[in-house]
Amino acid sequence: MYCVRNVTEDLYWVGANDHRLALFENIHPIPRGVSYNAYLLLDEKTVLFDTVDWSASRQLIENVEHLLDGRPLDYLLINHMEPDHGASIEEILLRYPDVKIISTEKAFMLMHQFGFHIDSHEQIEAKEGATMNFGKHTVTFVYAPMVHWPEAMVTFDVTNGVLFSADAFGSFGALDGKLFNDEVDFEHEWLDDARRYLTNIVGKYGPHVQALLKKASTVDIKIVCPLHGPVWRSNLGWFIDKYDKWSRYEPEEKGVMIAYASMYGNTESAAQALAAKLCEKGMTNVIVHDVSNTHVSQLISDAFRFSHIVLASVTYNLGIYPVMHNFLMDMKALHLQNRTFAIVENGSWACKSGDLMEKFINDELRDMTVLNERLSLASALHPEKASELDALADCIIESMNGEKK
């Protein structure tokens, strides 16, 4: 059965929701599913904007066939060639042998690489700033390299202000009937997944997101149609502000993420004691994660969210606990920067994790601050250490208030 929704009077969402995929890109858990958004414009010419993952091809085909109702598909416009959007290109080409393909030179190269038989179709290269008219609607092409692949572009409909934004402004989470941002409680139910999506998928490419935001600020955008998650037709400035912060690596909130690595619960106990101390002192914007059972994509998302990060790690094989090390490596890979760290270390017979974590932060991460106060445990946190715990909490709060480093 087809499943479509109007975006505007002649533009339709023709994508699909996926609740079967457990791991996006075979890495990131998506317990709320994901949507693959594609859009069909029924103008004098008919235009399909992007396709969907291979697993959702059948739904896309049903949707497009239903809306075309016997009309030909004139154009297939590809903004982004990653297979979660481009995998169904071949299916479209087989069903619409006269369809012309509009995309970037790099995307055409990738289509060949993925083995799509595009050469029997007319290929129209979308040049930066060029325009195309489909009847009532005229669109212009804006290159968006590395948001999130090098071939990516976005397409702006100058007639009605619709921006087809590719991976930008997307989110994990299946739509399940709802389409627009004002049909969901985005701030409370979606923001976390939107942050986790952006920071893990495109986090490394902040300057490229910034470049796209700069280009986008020059046009009057009324509706944003991303390739995942809700379509934005209101409150866009609020969401752009989030994107701006994430892509500048600026903390979204003053607050503390405590990430702990604990083998037998003693480091965990210290992490909880620190959380309670912070709250007692009035800093209640605190979140605590066990790195062993919190997916690193969530740790990354909260590292982008909060201004302060406490790493509390047991020493393991005279090194950093492996899962904590993995978190550090991911922060490095995604170019997280401009955060303040505090360190809690533990070791029963050779406490090394604190020095090693501090060295990693200073040597491998960018523009980070490590607070001077450190809490060192020998096996467990004992009452004699209460003043040190207190001092660490004070130090974090003072640093947050700009009083201490």
Contact footprint for ligand FEO (CB under 6 A): 80, 82, 84-85, 148-149, 167, 227-228
DSSP 188: I
Q: What would the DSSP string read from start to end of 118-150? A: -TTS-EEE--TT-EEE-SS-EEEEEE-TTSSST
Distance in angstroms (rounded) separating the CA atoms of residues 26 and 15 = 21
Calculate ∠ Cα 278-377-349, nearest 5°: 160
- The CB-of-210 to ligand FEO minimum distance in angstroms stands at 18
- The CB-of-19 to ligand FEO minimum distance in angstroms stands at 17
User: Would you say 53 or 192 has its CB closer to ligand FEO?
Assistant: 53
User: Would you say 84 or 302 has its CB closer to ligand FEO?
Assistant: 84
Distance in angstroms (rounded) separating the CA atoms of residues 111 and 96 = 17
User: Would you say 84 or 193 has its CB closer to ligand FEO?
Assistant: 84
- The CB-of-135 to ligand FEO minimum distance in angstroms stands at 29
Distance in angstroms (rounded) separating the CA atoms of residues 26 and 111 = 21
Phi-psi map region of 26: left, alpha, beta (phi>0 left; psi -120 to 50 alpha) = left
- The CB-of-299 to ligand FEO minimum distance in angstroms stands at 21
Question: Judging by DSSP bridges, how do beta strands 23-24 and 39-42 pair with one another?
Answer: unpaired
User: Would you say 82 or 91 has its CB closer to ligand FEO?
Assistant: 82
CB atoms within 10 A of CB 200: 25
- The CB-of-86 to ligand FEO minimum distance in angstroms stands at 9
User: Would you say 85 or 374 has its CB closer to ligand FEO?
Assistant: 85
Distance in angstroms (rounded) separating the CA atoms of residues 334 and 337 = 9
Instruction: Rounding to the nearest 10 degrees, give the CA dihedral for residues 66, 8, 226, 31.
Output: -60
Cis link prior to 308 (omega < 30° from 0)?
no
User: Would you say 205 or 306 has its CB closer to ligand FEO?
Assistant: 205
User: Would you say 149 or 360 has its CB closer to ligand FEO?
Assistant: 149
Q: What would the DSSP string read from start to end of 30-93? A: -TT-EEE--EEEESSSEEEE----GGGHHHHHHHHHHHHTTPPP-EEE-S--SHHHHTTHHHHH
- The CB-of-137 to ligand FEO minimum distance in angstroms stands at 24
- The CB-of-300 to ligand FEO minimum distance in angstroms stands at 17
- The CB-of-85 to ligand FEO minimum distance in angstroms stands at 6
User: Would you say 149 or 164 has its CB closer to ligand FEO?
Assistant: 149
